[in-house]
Chain A
């Protein structure tokens, strides 16, 4: 059993909550006391028997407003897989929520109302999902019951979906006709759509391939914590604890510390206290070096021949999370993995218009939920991520120096 993380995207009332509720309900992942509560809430709200959509509504403020405004996580499993659903609906905060949810997702389900087909919102969601590098796109063409379970409707929406995905440069999508409310093709087959021979939503989710192993290539280890117990039995122990992001490390090999460019030899490698000759795939290791160097949290250990001076200037795409507008010249903190550096936004190149993917050249400022391309200069050099397989070298966040808020997601070009 492995784990698949996915998110759902759709505009209000396309049936996202109903679909998630249906997945959990059919998989019997709702307990009887929770069901009882749902029944009571459904009755109190609109007199309905059982509104599965209420299941994903978390907080009181949202319940009062009748909308969801943040990312909520839900869990269910089948004998094959454990699933983590990031549910990110909402109006104003939508881009921010979706970017957040997408950052940890391997797949996305786009909800389409079969009566409406692909709409403007869908294009926005597609752009974000593609930008965030999600590998698997699934379309749930929902409310098929309201179009008479018509194959012709399904086919014409499929065409729209394929074109829209192409426009957003996303991966080849899976297109599944469903009716979330009555439950057609959510977790099982549908007698109403004998013309469809593909998988149900659940089957598709169970069968998506997920890549979990370490990207091959250059050694890249980031130091998260320097462990110096200074206890009697470990008096001189100095273990660099962190995650191996790509490649491998072997005892005796040379590594170069980034950014200081000092060179050292690997003395020992431990995982959970067990010594080993070489690293085995991704994971958290404790590394000792022969030489005593000044290495701190945020440094990287790289294969010596390959590390360079790094970059202090680069362009990146930002998604802006803050109500406080961003401007050229703004000073921020930038965090990439565990590395923290001061940085300045030196220029705003363009913003992306999510409706037609066109660019607005050189906007004055960056507003909440804007996607923009910017130029950034950092105080400390960053490892070059351009031709690396290490996805996390391209990912960072911006932190406001005063409020400490996370104000932007950064995708380094």
Chain B
């Protein structure tokens, strides 16, 4: 059996276990490629009916407009219920302080909004598109991962996962995070997108943008990121390899306007997905691990 079939089937099995074991699951959907793949798999799996749980997006207010546009169009096309909750509301509600600096990332604040949404809707499981190949701390994450009521992850207290049996038992207040595409690599995701003919937001393909240089990466200027004295502002042909927030996702110089060309470029790349695109992971080696413990998805 082809590796993509095996991976797809594993993801479907996991989603079916979520549908079977939880009363109120949600699928986290951002309009990024990994969550699009999740939604695509779910929609295939449950045909002829629609996905029996809602899609949930935590909108930081810093999202790319192209991704938001895609998010709305794609979920409407699936006939799925889309719930959007806003980080700006959490900032107000909890009196949080806005991130400052040249690249004011709201990444760390997302967890508040997610926890609020979990409470508001009583979600007992949230399906996410994290992959183990993304980062070292992720390599040990379980497929079913228990979070306490503060959203914290305890790497020392993970349940062993045997065969394809998933233990979804949780106590009141706890919440399960579920990662059906844990065993996919970045290239698996791209190959699957090509095989299935899945549409993507336009920013995954090369387009022209005004950018400033950040080390060996390019940050697009926008209403959050303004050039400062000493910055070189250029127009460049770029694409995005991941789609996070505008404030912390770097673009990649590219000529690839088709899926085949994008895959060819990624195949030839010597830099990892996160290394090339996420400026917030670079702070410390254990950055991701710390953010995960604190409830970052």
Nearest-Cβ distance from residue A202 to partner chain B, whole angstroms: 17
Query: CB distance A397 to B139 under 8 Å?
Result: no
Residue from the list A3, A229, A242, A338 in contact with B6, Cβ < 8 A: A3
Residue from the list B44, B159, B163, B185 in contact with A103, Cβ < 8 A: B163
Whether B48 is near chain A, meaning CB under 8 Å from some CB there, is: yes
Query: CB distance A406 to B159 under 8 Å?
Result: yes
Number of interchain pairs (Cβ within 8 Å):
161
B13 neighbours in A (Cβ, 8 Å) = 224, 243, 284
B185 neighbours in A (Cβ, 8 Å) = 75, 77, 82
Whether B285 is near chain A, meaning CB under 8 Å from some CB there, is: yes
Query: CB distance B162 to A227 under 8 Å?
Result: no
Query: CB distance B45 to A1 under 8 Å?
Result: no
In the bound assembly, the distance between CA atoms of A212 and B49 in angstroms comes to 29
A interface, how many residues as a size bin? 35 or more
Whether A399 is near chain B, meaning CB under 8 Å from some CB there, is: yes
Whether A405 is near chain B, meaning CB under 8 Å from some CB there, is: yes
In the bound assembly, the distance between CA atoms of A405 and B139 in angstroms comes to 21
Residue from the list A231, A242, A273, A395 in contact with B165, Cβ < 8 A: A395
Residue from the list A1, A31, A241 in contact with B2, Cβ < 8 A: A1
A336 neighbours in B (Cβ, 8 Å) = 165
Query: CB distance B16 to A241 under 8 Å?
Result: yes
Nearest-Cβ distance from residue B47 to partner chain A, whole angstroms: 3
In the bound assembly, the distance between CA atoms of A61 and B20 in angstroms comes to 35
Whether B183 is near chain A, meaning CB under 8 Å from some CB there, is: yes
Query: CB distance A73 to B49 under 8 Å?
Result: no
In the bound assembly, the distance between CA atoms of A318 and B240 in angstroms comes to 49
Whether A377 is near chain B, meaning CB under 8 Å from some CB there, is: no
Looking at B68-76, B84-92, B129-137, B223-231, the stretch in contact with chain A turns out to be B129-137
Whether B169 is near chain A, meaning CB under 8 Å from some CB there, is: yes
A399 neighbours in B (Cβ, 8 Å) = 167, 169
B283 neighbours in A (Cβ, 8 Å) = none
Whether B81 is near chain A, meaning CB under 8 Å from some CB there, is: no
Whether A321 is near chain B, meaning CB under 8 Å from some CB there, is: yes
Q: Mark A316-338, 1 if CB is under 8 A from B, else 0.
A: 00000100000000000101111
Whether B202 is near chain A, meaning CB under 8 Å from some CB there, is: no
In the bound assembly, the distance between CA atoms of A224 and B271 in angstroms comes to 40
Residue from the list A41, A72, A104, A229 in contact with B140, Cβ < 8 A: A72
Quick one: given A100-B160, A397-B167, are A59 and B137 in contact (CB under 8 Å)? Answer: yes
A343 neighbours in B (Cβ, 8 Å) = none
Query: CB distance A2 to B6 under 8 Å?
Result: yes
Whether B270 is near chain A, meaning CB under 8 Å from some CB there, is: yes
A41 neighbours in B (Cβ, 8 Å) = 285
Q: Mark A122-155, 1 if CB is under 8 A from B, else 0.
A: 0000000000000000000000000000000000
Closest A residue to B183 by beta carbon equals A84
Whether B19 is near chain A, meaning CB under 8 Å from some CB there, is: yes
Q: Mark A95-133, 1 if CB is under 8 A from B, else 0.
A: 011011001100000000000000000000000000000
Whether B116 is near chain A, meaning CB under 8 Å from some CB there, is: no
Whether B272 is near chain A, meaning CB under 8 Å from some CB there, is: yes
Query: CB distance B165 to A37 under 8 Å?
Result: no
Query: CB distance A229 to B50 under 8 Å?
Result: yes
Closest A residue to B187 by beta carbon equals A77
Residue from the list B165, B170, B276, B289 in contact with A60, Cβ < 8 A: B289
Nearest-Cβ distance from residue B102 to partner chain A, whole angstroms: 22
Quick one: given A61-B155, A71-B140, A225-B16, are A392 and B163 in contact (CB under 8 Å)? Answer: yes
In the bound assembly, the distance between CA atoms of A73 and B161 in angstroms comes to 12
Residue from the list A34, A61, A270 in contact with B272, Cβ < 8 A: A34
Residue from the list B2, B52, B137, B162 in contact with A397, Cβ < 8 A: B162
Query: CB distance B47 to A270 under 8 Å?
Result: yes
Closest B residue to A30 by beta carbon equals B272
Residues from 236 to 291 in A contacting B, C-beta threshold 8 Å: 237, 239, 241-243, 270, 272-274, 282-284
Whether B199 is near chain A, meaning CB under 8 Å from some CB there, is: no
Residue from the list A56, A225, A404, A405 in contact with B20, Cβ < 8 A: A225
Residues from 330 to 359 in A contacting B, C-beta threshold 8 Å: 333, 335-338
Whether A39 is near chain B, meaning CB under 8 Å from some CB there, is: no
Q: Mark B236-275, 1 if CB is under 8 A from A, else 0.
A: 0000000000000000000000000000000001111001
Query: CB distance A272 to B140 under 8 Å?
Result: no
Residues from 25 to 81 in A contacting B, C-beta threshold 8 Å: 31-34, 37, 41, 56-61, 69-75, 77, 81
Residues from 170 to 214 in B contacting A, C-beta threshold 8 Å: 170-171, 182-183, 185, 187-188
A229 neighbours in B (Cβ, 8 Å) = 49-50, 52
B289 neighbours in A (Cβ, 8 Å) = 59-60
Query: CB distance A100 to B183 under 8 Å?
Result: no
Q: Which residues of B contact A (CB under 8 A)?
A: 1-3, 6-7, 9, 12-13, 16-17, 19-21, 44-50, 52, 132-133, 136-137, 139-140, 155-156, 158-165, 167, 169-171, 182-183, 185, 187-188, 269-272, 275-276, 285-286, 289
Pairs A-B, 5 closest by C-beta atoms: A273-B47, A33-B275, A229-B49, A31-B272, A404-B169
